Amino acid sequence: MQTEQLSDFVALWECIQGVHLSEENDSISWRWTPSGSYTTASAYRIQFAGSLPHFESRKIWKVWRHIQTWSLPSPSTTDINAHWECLIHGLPKKETRTLSERLITSWWGIWKELNRRIFRSSALPPLEVAYLVWEEVQSRSLASSIDPGDI
Q: Where does the pLDDT of residue 140 fall: very low under 50, low under 70, confident under 90, or very high at 90 and above?
A: confident
Alpha-carbon distance of 22 to 33, in angstroms, equals: 27
Q: Which region among 8-12, 31-35, 39-43, 46-50 has the lowest average model confidence (pLDDT)?
A: 46-50
Q: Which region among 63-72, 93-102, 110-119 has the lowest average model confidence (pLDDT)?
A: 63-72
86 pLDDT more than 80:
no
Q: Where does the pLDDT of residue 72 fall: very low under 50, low under 70, confident under 90, or very high at 90 and above?
A: very low
Average pLDDT of the chain to the nearest whole number? 78
Under 8 Å between Cβ of 109 and 136: yes
Task: Report the pLDDT averaged over residues 26-34.
Answer: 87
What are the pLDDT digits (tens) for 10-23? 888 888 888 888 88
DSSP letter assigned to residue 26: P
pTM: 0.43
Percent of the chain with pLDDT over 70: 75
Nearest to residue 102, comparing CAs of 135, 80, 128? Answer: 135
Nearest to residue 73, comparing CAs of 87, 59, 63, 61? Answer: 87
**58 CB neighbour count, 10 Å cutoff:** 8
8 pLDDT more than 60:
yes
**133 CB neighbour count, 10 Å cutoff:** 19
Structure confidence at residue 91 (pLDDT): 83
Q: Could you give the C-alpha distances from 36 to 33, 133, 147, in angstroms and in order? A: 5, 48, 69
